[in-house]
Amino acid sequence: MFPLLPGFQFYPTLATIPCWVPSPPREEPLSAHTSRFRPAPPPSPSSARARPLFPPFSRSALLAPFLPSAFRLHIAPFSTIPGPPTRGPLWVAPTSARLSPLPSPFPASPPPPAAPPLPAPRLAILLLEPRAPPGPSSLASRSLAPSSPFPARPSLPAASRAPCPRPDLQWRPPSAAPRGQRATTEPPAAVAAAASTACALPALRREHFRGRARERARMWGRGGERRAPRVASPSAGIRCVAYNNQSNRLAVSRTDGTVEIYNLSANYFQEKFFPGHESRATEALCWANGQRLFSAGLNGEIIEYDLQALNIKYAMDAFGGPIWSMAASPSGSQLLVGCEDGSVKLFQITPDKIQFERNFDRQKSRILSLSWHPAGTHIAAGSIDYISVFDVKSGSAIHKMLVDRQYMGVSKRKCIVWGVAFLSDGTVISADSAGKVQFWDSATGTLVKNHLIADADVQSIAVSDQEDSFVVGTAEGTVFHFQLVSVTSNSSEKQWVRTKPFQHHTHDVRAVAHSPIALISGGTDTHLVIRPLMEKVEVKNYDAALRKITFPHRRLVSCAKKKQLLLFQFAHHLELWRLGSTVATGKNGDTLPLSKNADHLLHLKTKGPENIICSCISPCGSWIAYSTASRFFLYRLNYEHDNINLQRVSKMPAFLRSALQILFSEDSAKLFVASNQGSLHVIRLLEGSFKHLHTFQPQSGTVESMCLLAVSPDGNWLAASGTSAGVHVYNVKQLKLHCTVPAYNFPVTALAIAPNTNNLVIAHSDQQVFEYSIPDKQYTQWSRTIQKQGFHHLWLQRDTPITHISFHPKRPMHILLHDAYMFCIIDKSLPLPNDKTLLYNPLPPTNESDIIRRRTAHAFKISKKYKPLLFMDLLDERTLVAVERPLDDIIAQLPPPIKKKKFGT
């Protein structure tokens, strides 16, 4: 019996499951530049009381941070069929229902000679399309060819709109209906199967999105690619970035308030994150005094983050209204903020907090951008229609430079200075909404040079530390690189020249940064793009390759294997799904009817404005736990036929106020909680209650937060990894520290304990994989061998970290792991590949001997057929579940970008 969701057509051995999530509301459309600064109104009480089937996000949340919304769940067989040589997996082309060969990602052990043949495994395939009112639609007679997810939209003139307006989304809540029946106000989505099997799911109604979306599902065959319905909420866009040259770390703030920290020296790994908050709309981010990180936003508060405990250290009101800009002094001892009321406020950075020092001369309009002179004597402030130069000692404005309102020959009503940069020679560089980059002489207050580079706003600017180059981002999605070059080959005179344009974004580039060897940009399309400067990279290796980071480097899905349940984590709610099944059998290419549809069992919404940090469901499916920044929640689930009873465990102790990671034991009898104070709590679960057993305190009095947990299948060992590279192993029975894995220079991205052997497998951000024997307190012989020989160079060149490791219960020599774009099975019994060996198998096998040869060639069996993977794990010996998040779905859910005419059209 194989788990499936409603509306699936069956092909042998794999299933794909959709999960529907509403698109969050977006900001109001902007009719003028001034409306860009008007905060979105709070949701009305009437809309808060409405309880649709899929409740929308609050307006202030805007976008959920990298949370999967159109999930693809693929269920694949894992065991091989003994007897005759196994046939290769099958592939269904997107425009056909026929099957053709495709290479298998699953290795096969030699079959025993006397074993009887097993029945053929089964596969389910979904065809799903939401109906547009008033009548239903069916995919039974439609082609499965890919199509555009949205109807054509009229393009908007670039000069008549602010960059990338976000149309509002209005939701019509369904009327009350008995459990198991659909609400009458929402037409269901018709799901048609080729074998006259049909079922329906509620369709989400989306209005005011420039036409309704008509979605289409495409599924491909056995063990291969599938496509699920494109009904998705986009990931949170990037609002601002800040680069720290001392630690080589990058701080990224997203539109929902989430702050992420990337270690550029550790293969660009996302080593820390701070969850978002509905009331925080971050507009500025900066590093000060070495390792101290500050942010400010439209709530008018300045926030400092605790990088050890991974929480907010304190928040201080600046008393100037919404804060639009912030900059730290070159010495790192002072902090400057620009406010809505036109004031520029100076704060002194003390060891514990920040202290207000004084106000500068108030300006007539809001301060949108700030920049210090490298000497710390003057500052430049960009506003609407002008740039002010202040003397830091006196706090008075010494120059006011009016910017040109001319845009493509037409005078605009306002010109917004989105970014300024103050150079050591006194030059001020400005980027404005007229598409210009201008150079000003701060001593005389005059314009020196003007560059018209775009037909839309230039929204961000960043200068290198050597001041020999800078980068700007535009609302057209283009990034321009300027360099200071000599006028002639023998001349000492230099001038600024626009050298390189890059088009790596589809929408507005809201933030840019300039590291010594790379240009960094981010914007509405959620991508963090890191493009190395080839002339400054000494060795032309994989470090010089372009990188796009879209998904979080942490897990957002958990699985209850015994109950066939999946728990999905979103910003402000959790969703629980129970997989369906079938009892039908058939041969390759048959369509099998569903005997039991999947159920959306639970939609658990959090209370309060805080985002969810972590969540987990027990293997037995009877417990759900999740945590926000200030509260920990534990629920007991009881199943009665088709109903579910949810009971919250009350009176949680004070030490469980917040958690960074949650994990249940395999028997669901214990709960392990990693707090932000560096301690690990062990809790015994009782019937509807709990008992605190022990707390492991952090080593040597440190406050290092534990971000990753792994428990052995027998429940005797617990491994925990912190924000540094250390891994500690605890004895759960004796409640004491067992050992500490030798330190490694790169942070841990995933870890798991193998059954039977109790070997701890650890993956690091530099793509190295280690196997450590917990009973012997040393690395295994296989780990020493692979470290001595070294990994394949293509394996080390991967730019996404391993996020999950698991094991097959009947195959102790197999290690299963995956990152966002690769699923791999490592067979420790086979030889390791060298650099001359073909690591990947890009072409399908031509015959059965080719299949066997590839399976026995070397230890690494890699499949790159899937879309970006958020989760993959074994349900049982023959069933594999995968959750995908297509990049195309993210782009399809974004507002339309600014259109440019090409070739005179």
CB distance 666 to 713 below 8 Å: yes
Over residues 504-511, the mean pLDDT reads 92
- pLDDT of 417 over the 70 cut: yes
State the pLDDT at residue 11: 34
* Strand positions, DSSP E, 183-310: 188-192, 198-202, 218-219, 226-227, 238-244, 249-254, 259-263, 269-274, 282-288, 292-297, 301-306
219 beta partners: 226
CB distance 660 to 613 below 8 Å: yes
State the pLDDT at residue 854: 63
74-78, 172-176, 748-752 — which is least confidently predicted? Answer: 172-176
CA distance 760 to 744: 15
Tokens representing 666?
Answer: 């395999």
Cα–Cα–Cα angle for 278, 525, 218, rounded to 5 degrees: 105
Tokens representing 67?
Answer: 């949370």
State the pLDDT at residue 588: 52
* C-alpha distances in Å from residue 157, one per residue of 36, 165, 299, 724: 17, 12, 32, 50
Please provide the average confidence, as pLDDT, over all residues in the chain.
74
Tokens representing 272?
Answer: 């820390």
State the pLDDT at residue 127: 27
- pLDDT of 369 over the 60 cut: yes
Please give, one letter per residue, the 3-state secondary structure of 80-115: CCCCCCCCCCEEECCCCCCEEECCCCCCCCCCCCCC
Among 96-105, 575-584, 709-718, 721-730, the range of highest mean pLDDT? 709-718
- pLDDT of 653 over the 60 cut: yes
pLDDT interval class at 587 (50, 70, 90): low
Question: Which of 83, 538, 592, 511 has its CA nearest to residue 286?
Answer: 511
Q: What is the DSSP string of 793-818?
A: HHHHT--S---EEEEETTEEEEEEEE
State the pLDDT at residue 856: 65
> What is the pTM (predicted TM-score) of this model?
0.74
More confident call, 23 vs 545: 545
CA distance 272 to 250: 11
State the pLDDT at residue 319: 93
- pLDDT of 517 over the 60 cut: yes
Element (H, E) at 890: helix 887-892
More confident call, 575 vs 500: 575
Over residues 369-396, the mean pLDDT reads 95
CB distance 240 to 29 below 8 Å: no
State the pLDDT at residue 466: 92
Over residues 794-810, the mean pLDDT reads 91
* Number of other CB atoms surrounding residue 574 within 10 Å: 21
183-192, 497-506, 515-524 — which is least confidently predicted? Answer: 183-192
100 beta partners: 91
Tokens representing 14?
Answer: 């794999």
41-55, 253-267, 759-773, 807-821 — which is least confidently predicted? Answer: 41-55
- pLDDT of 555 over the 70 cut: yes
Three-state DSSP state, 665: coil
Summarised one tens digit per residue, pLDDT across range 317-344 is 999 999 999 999 999 999 999 999 999 9
Summarised one tens digit per residue, pLDDT across range 120-156 is 323 332 322 233 333 332 222 222 233 333 333 333 3
State the pLDDT at residue 411: 67
State the pLDDT at residue 688: 76
CA distance 23 to 489: 56
CA distance 893 to 525: 10
CB distance 130 to 204 below 8 Å: yes
CA distance 599 to 577: 6
- pLDDT of 788 over the 80 cut: yes
State the pLDDT at residue 687: 84
State the pLDDT at residue 855: 61
* Number of other CB atoms surrounding residue 321 within 10 Å: 15
- pLDDT of 409 over the 70 cut: no
Phi and psi at residue 602, to the nearest 5°: -150, 140
Cα–Cα–Cα angle for 838, 551, 820, rounded to 5 degrees: 20
Three-state DSSP state, 442: coil
356 beta partners: 347
Phi and psi at residue 889, to the nearest 5°: -65, -35
CB distance 78 to 879 below 8 Å: yes
Over residues 290-297, the mean pLDDT reads 92
End-to-end CA distance of the chain: 56
State the pLDDT at residue 747: 92
pLDDT interval class at 428 (50, 70, 90): very high
pLDDT interval class at 673 (50, 70, 90): very high
CB distance 869 to 819 below 8 Å: yes
Tokens representing 708?
Answer: 């990753």
CB distance 5 to 125 below 8 Å: no
State the pLDDT at residue 767: 94
Q: What is the DSSP string of 169-193?
A: -B--PPPP--TTS--TTSPEEEEE-
More confident call, 29 vs 284: 284
Q: How many residues does the chain have?
A: 905
